Amino acid sequence: MKRSGSETRAEILRIALDLFTRQGYEGTSIRDIAEALGTTKSSLYYHFANKEAIVQELVTQRRSEMDAVLAWVDEHAGEPELLRGAALRWVDSTTPQRIQALRFAHANRPVMARLTAATGAPRSWFDEVVGRILPADAPMPDRLRARMAFDTVSAALFAAHDTDATEADVLTAARAATIALTT
């Protein structure tokens, strides 16, 4: 059965993310992605101009997840426990795709830094969300703790490296760490 353009595009993103994570961005070619997809390079180029365009789309997807949390923060501004609620919302909305994207980002830091600089994207989404939750004059230790509360999935993934921890274990640990950091 033939896939629609959007289904093909989603499959390209899924396969590319997996290959970029396992083989590295530099170690993965358009040919590798096309072969894993079972198509030609020219078919892949119909959807994406190059590897950077694929990564840009992956970053855009993550940004839309972040924007949803920012919108939630804006809707609940001034409520008690705003930091905890927002950080738990972020952790609890973690999908297998986000976990894979975090693994990719960890494995390909130079590429991510270059692409972030090239697009003029904000250096840290964490700064943006923390800036909406804490007062501008909040002490630096409070700001760092708030940033850490949003970064617990990444920290748990890092801690789980070379263990037999499952994604469920990672998310359980991340949730517990988020609660501890926002108490």
Counting beta carbons within 10 angstroms of the beta carbon of residue 83, is it exposed (0 to 12), middle (13 to 18) or buried (19 or more)?
buried
**Dihedrals phi, psi of 27, to nearest 5 degrees:** -85, 0
Domain 1-49 part of CATH 2.40.160.40: no
Exposure of 64 in the CB half-sphere (CA atoms within 13 A): 5
The pTM score is: 0.81
Q: Could you give the CA distance from residue 86 to residue 79 in angstroms, rounded to a whole number? A: 11
Handedness of CA 143, 148, 149, 150 (dihedral sign): positive
Counting beta carbons within 10 angstroms of the beta carbon of residue 156, is it exposed (0 to 12), middle (13 to 18) or buried (19 or more)?
buried
Dihedral over alpha carbons 109, 114, 73, 91 (to 10 degrees)? -20
Q: Could you give the CA distance from residue 181 to residue 183 in angstroms, rounded to a whole number? A: 6
For 68-92, the pLDDT digits (tens) are 999 999 999 999 999 999 999 999 9
Higher pLDDT pick, 127 / 182? 182
Burial 39-68 (b: 16+ CB within 10 A, else e): beeeebeebbeebeebbbbbbeeeeebbee
pLDDT band per the 50, 70, 90 thresholds, residue 23? very high
Higher pLDDT pick, 104 / 163? 163
DSSP secondary structure code for residue 4 in this structure: P
pLDDT band per the 50, 70, 90 thresholds, residue 119? low
